[in-house]
Structure 1
Amino acid sequence: MKDRDSMPEFRKDPVIGRWVIIAAERAERPSDFGKAEYQVNRGFCPFCEGNEQSTPPEILAFRKSGTAANTPGWKLRVVPNKFPALQIEGDLNRRGIGIYDQMNGIGAHEVIIETPTHGQTLIDLSPPQFEDVLLSFQLRMADLKKDTRFLYVIAFKNHGRAAGVSLEHSHSQLIALPIIPKRVAEEIRGADNHFRMKERCIFCDIIRQELETDVRIIEQNDSFIAISPFASRFPFEIWLLPKKHESHFEQISRENLTALSKILRNLLLRMNKVLDEPPYNFLIHTSPFNEEKKLSYHWHIEIIPKLSRVAGFEWGTGFYINPTSPEQATQFLKEVVLEQKAAEILPVDSP
């Protein structure tokens, strides 16, 4: 008879109701995933300092005093994507073609060039530089919110070729949309249903549950908590949430932005040490622009190392098979010893 602890489990995500399979009998340790290959581009890089004329004109930049726009002397630049997924100019022109719905591909697609130094990664940045990246997200979201054509903006980072990077120079992206993405809409619908039944935010309930059981908390500080979600889709998936209810990322206070920067940087350091610098994606899920102070939805960051592939079963059923339980992943990540400078975070068992 199989050990009960090693049997696969179905787990249901409490937000959107999606089921995942935790295949504990396949239990994979961090070393089992292997280090991802990363091809270094030795040629010309349009994101390097000195090549400012190779990008569209900057929308936002943090610069040394006395330096002019679109010249050297910057610490971070935000520019329109030269090959955008959506176009900023024009009208939506919603229309129907028989049973089909169609509209123009209107939106905003921006690139945050996180450092002028080629070869630096996000976690190589100093804490103030790291915080500047999050500050640029906030400032650009708040600005794009003024455009009444847009309902939603997603900020995300792809790191490594397997995560979708085409240019190796460290950068992240923002895309503003005239519709609410399906994945976010599913989360909002699940959160709304929970709120109608219980008059509580489902994410706040998850935080209370995790604080009570303390088996999936990776790290926390006074303002934020990082957990391995109970129904993790992928090995070593991490959710980072504000402890107090906040619906919109762009409304975060500067004090909390600093606290967020510290814990997010620590999480990426932990992940790098445990998984040997894996490719990863992280993304910010926030409330739609047209809903202020949404009581049922809680903004959060999802961090997803690219360690497994979505194949036929997943595409055909909508299930995910995760070979590493969130409890195992939490233990591996918690055991990492960080240098004092990087680890300005309260112990996991702090209130």
Structure 2
Amino acid sequence: MPDLRKDPVSGRWVIIATERAMRPNDFKIEPHAPLSADVFCPFCEGNEDKTPPEIMAYREKGSYANKKGWRVRVVPNKFPALKIEGGLNKQGVGIYDTMSGVGAHEVIIESPLHITSLTEMSIWQVEEILWTYRDRMIDLKKDKRFIYGLLFKNVGRAAGASLEHSHSQLIVTPIVPITVIHEMEGSEVFYKYRGRCLFCDMVRQELATDARIVMEGKNFIAFTPYASRFPFEIWILSKTHASHFENIQKLEVEELAKILQKTILKLEACLTYPPYNYIIHTTPFTYGEIEYYHWHIEIIPRLTNIAGFEWGSGFYINTVTPETAAEFLRNANIQNNNEDMKL
């Protein structure tokens, strides 16, 4: 019998189709096609003139902007979804609302070497990527035109990546995305009724139940959500309440880098290097610290397609129970020769 589960944050219902349950090796995953030696990569060191001029970079002492010597580099997206120049120009057209497509669209190039996964990096490299996320959010938050910053990573063609060189993106918008609005509204309703943060309660319950925990550290947990939309979906949450990602502290960055890298290692081991997206959901720039919303990372392997029923109903059909996925991930045999990655 399929199981209907309600996501307590958004109110969205998910169908866990247990009768159609699949093991990791049952999924038909398109393998990553490695870049041919004669295919040019604009993100590799030495090709700095093939990208727009850098916005910021973590560099070796004595190196120069848009030259070699960088460790993490941020450039404007060559084909931006939104452009940073101009005013909002808000207006109504009959019953419709419109404004200029103002915002920021940046690419975080995560290594000067042609690395295709965070799992190929040292922990300190992953830490620098997280610090870069924080630095760019803090800087763009100063622009009063901008309301929200969405950090995300696409890995593999099926997940929307056009280049395999490991990179993330940041899109900053003058409005709050509807998905975040739904999460914030659901969390606020819970807070007004219970007087507690829903995400903090979720952390406590997942730790107590232990059925969906993938990994636990001192400050963070990784788990498969109770109403997972997708097979092997994973969330990473801080154990202590925090509404804004950009306020993350040094010790938290050090642990988060380990949790994030090890979680992706487990995904790669279980699912043979699947395409995936991860997204950081955080509180809009215009809010101060709030008690009812909690920043978090959502990791979504791209194993299934969204079809007519999902688009038409808003339901998702997940063929793997989150409990089964968590068990596979916990028991994944990963190669870890990096002593610094131990929690």
| Residue 174 (1) aligns with residue 204 (2) | no
**Residue number in structure 2 paired with 1:349:** none
Aligned pairs for 1:47-86 (under 5 A) are 47-86=43-82
Distance 1:335 1:157 in 2: 25
2:269–2:333 CA contact under 8 A, matched in 1: no
1:146 positional shift: 0.5
Aligned to 2:92, the other structure's residue is in SS state strand
Deviating above 2 A after TM superposition, structure 1's stretches of 4 or more consecutive aligned residues are 37-42, 337-346
Aligned to 1:83, the other structure's residue is in SS state coil
1:41 positional shift: 4.0
Aligned to 1:271, the other structure's residue is in SS state helix
Distance 2:99 2:146 in 1: 13
Distance 1:244 1:104 in 2: 38
**1:96-116 deviation line (CA, Å, top 9, x unaligned):** 000000000000000000111
RMSD: 1.2
2:123–2:341 CA contact under 8 A, matched in 1: no
Distance 1:115 1:146 in 2: 27
| Residue 96 (1) aligns with residue 92 (2) | yes
Aligned to 2:22, the other structure's residue is in SS state coil
**Residue number in structure 1 paired with 2:112:** 116
Distance 1:309 1:302 in 2: 18
TM-score with structure 1 setting the length: 0.95
1:64 positional shift: 1.4
Match of 2:13 among 19, 25, 28: 19
**Residue number in structure 1 paired with 2:33:** 39
**1:67-117 deviation line (CA, Å, top 9, x unaligned):** 111001111100011110000000001000000000000000000001111
Distance 1:276 1:106 in 2: 39
**Residue number in structure 1 paired with 2:322:** 326
Alignment-mate amino acid for residue 14 of structure 1: P
| Residue 250 (1) aligns with residue 239 (2) | no
1:344 positional shift: 4.2
**Residue number in structure 2 paired with 1:4:** none
Q: Which moved more, 1:29-38 or 1:276-285?
A: 29-38
Aligned pairs for 1:195-274 (under 5 A) are 195-274=191-270
**1:201-248 deviation line (CA, Å, top 9, x unaligned):** 110111111111111111011100111000000000000000000000
Q: Which moved more, 1:94-103 or 1:37-46?
A: 37-46
Alignment-mate amino acid for residue 5 of structure 2: R
Distance 1:207 1:49 in 2: 41
Distance 1:251 1:237 in 2: 25
Distance 1:342 1:160 in 2: 28
- Identity between Structure 1 and Structure 2 (%): 56
1:220–1:345 CA contact under 8 A, matched in 2: no
1:265–1:342 CA contact under 8 A, matched in 2: no
**Residue number in structure 2 paired with 1:295:** 291
Alignment-mate amino acid for residue 333 of structure 1: L
2:153–2:279 CA contact under 8 A, matched in 1: yes
Aligned to 1:84, the other structure's residue is in SS state coil
Distance 2:214 2:261 in 1: 13
5+ unaligned residues in a row in structure 1: which ranges?
1-6, 347-351
Alignment-mate amino acid for residue 323 of structure 1: T
Aligned to 1:219, the other structure's residue is in SS state strand
Distance 2:8 2:30 in 1: 32
2:122–2:338 CA contact under 8 A, matched in 1: no
5+ unaligned residues in a row in structure 2: which ranges?
none
Distance 1:60 1:119 in 2: 20
Change (3 A) 1:297 1:157: same
Change (3 A) 1:256 1:330: same
Aligned to 1:257, the other structure's residue is in SS state helix
Aligned to 2:100, the other structure's residue is in SS state coil
1:13–1:19 CA contact under 8 A, matched in 2: yes
Q: Which moved more, 1:209-218 or 1:115-124?
A: 115-124
Distance 2:178 2:340 in 1: 36
Alignment-mate amino acid for residue 21 of structure 2: A
TM-score with structure 2 setting the length: 0.97
2:52–2:78 CA contact under 8 A, matched in 1: yes
Distance 1:198 1:342 in 2: 42
Distance 2:34 2:83 in 1: 30
**Residue number in structure 2 paired with 1:10:** 4
**Residue number in structure 1 paired with 2:338:** 341
**Residue number in structure 2 paired with 1:152:** 148
Q: Which moved more, 1:7-16 or 1:111-120?
A: 111-120
